[in-house]
Amino acid sequence: MTAPSWLFCSVQLAFLFSARTENCKVSSLKKSSIAGQPFPLQCQAAIGYRSEIITYSVSWYKNSNETSLLSGKNSRIYQHQDWIWFLPLTLEDTGIYHCIISYQVVGSGILGEDPDRKIPTRNSLKCTRVNINLTVFKSSENWCDNHKEDLQKLLIYIPLSLGKFKMITCPLPKFPANITFNSVEWHKDCKQIQSNKEFHLKMQNLIIASVSAQNAGLYRCNATFSFMGKHYSISRNILGFLEKSEEPESIVGKRPEILYPQNNSIEVKLGSPLLVDCNIYDTEDSTSDKCWKVNGTLVNQYYNSNRIHEGIETKSSQGKKYCLYTVNLSFTEVRSEDYDHPFVCHLSGIAAAYIILRPPAPDLQGYMIGGLFGMVFMVVAFSFIYKIFKIDIVLWYRSIFQTIVSKEDGKLYDAFVLYPKPNKESQNHALNMLVMQILPDILEKQCGYKLFIFGRDDFPGEAVVSVADENIKLSRRLIIIIVPESSSYSFFEHASEQQIAVYNALIQDGIKVILIELEKIQDYTGLPESIKFIKQKHGAVQWTGNFTKESQSAKTKFWKKVRYHMPPKKQPPSSKSSFIMPSLPSSPERG
């Protein structure tokens, strides 16, 4: 490494810090392009080379000297020496970019007879800062329908002379690398141009052998190229106008005038930077004041800050006598007080036009999609919760709306209870305890139901068939209790009673069956077909408690299931017994 290079590297960090404190030569540039297209941005600083040896480094920042603009070969923003490439541009790239070039200039002399050996005679460390206002415009899906908007933004004017030869070159940007454009297509007034007697296509050029009045109009060139395995497309719009008219009257109208803004509004995010151009078409020797005002006061005087300020007026030639003047209005940060406030571009004594900033419209599609997903999630969640806590929810609902869910149906009993007579003495004791003591204590005393229990509520000497037939018709539910040994003997002591009960339960309207297993029954093959059908249609509630009367409660899991299948109560129980409010959820308990 040479002495100058070593010296430069050793002090580079310190110098960059001082450069970022505005101790640099400052210049400003203005650039604009269309979103969705690649765009190269160069830090065009004047650095003298001559006979000096120059070493330099470039740092890029956006909107603030404190935030470095990170880039890389695999990122959308790629830095190459004093260039940055946007591959491609987005609307968010609008802003003020700062590039700081720190360089070392070393004078040289010839050492001996070797012209390649130089000795430093002096050295100096210098800095140049370039501020670049970049405006990115939204691209139009159909450029044919957007002529005026193109004119306000990036339309290029080309004069045409009747009867003369004219070659129009596609004004493609210069890239700092060996970029080869694969193809260039030309369109005029939205129709593709092919080589013929009127036009000739040659590389990036469109050649008109002899200009006619029909050749005036809007041209567009599209070029494609490849870079690092990706394909990109660039387009440019050109307005060809007859030179004898000296101006494209068919599009821009009378002169002078403000082309943009046009008393319109633009959407901009809160806190984002913004650059707005006032484009004015006027004579080349115009002395009219062109400026931005707020409430009748110049912007720079009204705000007296760097957050909102007016840029320097620039102009570009548009024919022999006319120029396109541009005065920009720069926002380093858009605040809420800037919304719905007219910023007026003035062409003194001739015209004025304003622009109003508004917050972006809400993304209704996003809200609709989010709302739809939210509704689907809620439906799934409620379905899942209801499936788990269905019994508790139904019991709670009945307790709150018990006068609503019930209706007069002419029934006398809430349930008719049928049960077998087991062979085993232990099962007989357990079954009698359940039917005669526990079942009435829970359903009648605690819950207020009225039961008809065969063997308790019938009178001695009554015909079994008549009792069963009459009282089942007066009941809202039929409770059938079975034990595992039911298949080894006649299911009921009186077969005719069984037939009547099952007939009424399955055939007549309004009667539902509650099947209770005293113990878990694995195999139903030995049971009557009617019981199999009830099991398949309604399922069964399995008793899992003990047969101690004092330990029973309507809040347990078993009794909740039985109460769920029972009809809702219209009236609460008497004052001697308390109605049981369900709990959500309850832990599994026995009995």
Q: How many CB atoms lie within 10 A of CB 545?
A: 17
- Sign of torsion over alpha carbons 559, 562, 568, 573: negative
Specify whether the CB–CB gap between 339 and 359 falls below 8 A.
Answer: yes
Pinpoint the alpha helices (H) of 460-591.
464-473, 495-506, 529-538, 557-565
DSSP secondary structure code for residue 69 in this structure: -
Q: Quick check: helix, strand or coil at residue 113? A: coil
What is the spatial distance between Cα 175 and Cα 170, in angstroms, rounded to a whole number?
Answer: 14
Residues whose CB falls within 8 Å of the CB of residue 159, separated by 6 or more in sequence, listed in order: 240, 241, 242, 243, 319
Q: Provide the residue type at 363 as one letter.
A: D
What is the spatial distance between Cα 580 and Cα 591, in angstroms, rounded to a whole number?
Answer: 15
Dig out the tokens for 141 from the structure.
């899906």
Specify whether the CB–CB gap between 164 and 177 falls below 8 A.
Answer: no
- How many Cα neighbours within 13 Å face the side chain of 215? 24
**Closest C-alpha among 431, 432, 437 to residue 451:** 437
- How many Cα neighbours within 13 Å face the side chain of 222? 11
Q: Provide the residue type at 525 as one letter.
A: T
Q: Quick check: helix, strand or coil at residue 497? A: helix
Residues whose CB falls within 8 Å of the CB of residue 260, separated by 6 or more in sequence, listed in order: 152, 153, 277, 278, 279, 353
Task: Specify the pairing of strand 415-418 against strand 451-453.
Answer: parallel
Q: Quick check: helix, strand or coil at residue 309? A: strand
Partner residues linked to 106 by β-bridges: 53, 123
Q: Kindly name the residue from 243, 247, 497, 517 that is annotated as catalytic.
A: 497
Question: Does the annotation mark 284 as catalytic?
Answer: no
CA distances to 147, 309, 343, 344, 485 from 356, in Å: 22, 16, 6, 9, 88
Dig out the tokens for 17 from the structure.
């810090």
User: In angstroms, what is the C-alpha Rg of the chain?
Assistant: 46
Q: Quick check: helix, strand or coil at residue 563? A: helix
Maximum distance among all alpha carbons in the chain? 145
Partner residues linked to 28 by β-bridges: 131
Specify whether the CB–CB gap between 479 and 417 falls below 8 A.
Answer: yes
Instruction: Please state at what angle helix 529-538 crosses helix 495-506, rounded to 10 degrees.
Output: 30
What is the spatial distance between Cα 201 and Cα 195, in angstroms, rounded to a whole number?
Answer: 6
Only one residue has tokens 């840029």, namely 311
Catalytic residues: 497
